[in-house]
Amino acid sequence: MEDLRPSTRRISRRAVLAAAVLAPLVSTTLIAPTASGGEADSPVLQIMTYNLEGRGTAGPSWKHRRPIERAMLRQAQPQIVDTQEGDHTQVKQVAADLGKNYGWIGKGQNGGHKGIINAIFFDKRRLKVLGHNTFWLSATPTKVGSNTWGAKHIRTATWIHFQDKQDSGRDFYVLNTHFDNGKGQHPDNVRLKSANLVGKWIARLPASKPVLVSGDFNSAAEETQVYTRLLNRSGLVDTWKTAATRANEYGTHTGHKAPKPGPRIDWILSDPKVTTDHTETNVFSKDGLAPSDHLPVQAWVRLR
């Protein structure tokens, strides 16, 4: 197991809690002969965050959306795909659609394969897993199924410590999460507490290691305290803003309507040690049908 202590980042006042959240479940070695996509020695990584839209929603059925999802992913070919809202059946189907070169890690909101999984898919030819874990967005993050803040749903975060076999063995962290979508009297309170918990996780990482944080935050970028909390207190930057180029500047929750300018609630954040070449929302559709009620967001990044 890896030991993330000591850290040169600021240490949370609840260091014991953060250390427990970080304890990896397993160390895994994956062997791959080549990297995927682009030139063999390219340091660029493509990461996608993608709310799958669960199978039980009122929109178009997953049965009809899945072929669109498969075509979209096979066209995009990201090395990392962070998904939200999928159950175990859906996640397994996405894994099959990505193909044998991809693995995935994630735990259900109720433990094991039970409930919604915030999965991280990764190209095994390019990336090796050094450690990973799932924690719950609550005051008791190591307790399976915990929801102490009155959120509408049980929410989790999944993280993986990767080694990039194509970029001189550089290692980095990826976290995928889905903040609550409650709309009560103080809807941002739970999301702010979730942002604080993610910040504590970041604070325990070695300062020299790049980190990428992505997901469906159910908060508008640049317009909410949740966004500024993650950027200002956690030392992150928004790859959408730092990218050298960007495309398809649309709101990311479309509800299966035509894409149009609007709030970005699906983000890919990074620390300043990551350079973003390009970012975009993916507007892939076929015969008028999109793969989800959310637009996937993609970023092409370089670890520094």
Is residue 179 within 8 A of residue 191, CB to CB? The reply is: yes
Cα 208 → chain centroid: 21
Q: Note the pTM of the prediction, 2 decimals.
A: 0.88
DSSP letters of 100-120? TTEEEE--BTTSTTSS-B--E
Chain centroid, CA 69 distance in Å: 17
Q: Which of 135, 270, 126, 269 is nearest to 209 (CA)?
A: 270
* pLDDT category of residue 186 using cuts at 50, 70 and 90: low
Of the candidates 90, 176, 75, 163, the residue with the CA atom closest to the CA atom of residue 127? 163
Compute the CA torsion angle 173, 176, 182, 183 (nearest 10 deg). Answer: 80
| Alpha carbon of residue 88 to chain centroid | 17
pLDDT of residue 102 exceeding 80, the answer is yes
pLDDT at position 34, please? 34
Tell me the mean pLDDT in the region 231-245: 95
State residue 20's pLDDT score. 45
What pLDDT score does 10 carry? 39
Q: Measured between alpha carbons, how far is 248 from 69 in angstroms, rounded to an integer?
A: 18
User: pLDDT of 33-76, one tens digit each?
Assistant: 333 444 456 899 999 999 999 998 888 999 999 999 999 999 99
For residue 71, the 8-state DSSP code is H
- Which sign, positive or negative, has the C-alpha torsion 24, 29, 116, 80? positive
pLDDT at 187: 57
Residue-wise pLDDT for 250-292, tens only, equals 999 999 999 999 999 999 999 999 999 999 999 999 999 999 9
Is the confidence at residue 15, as pLDDT, over 50? no
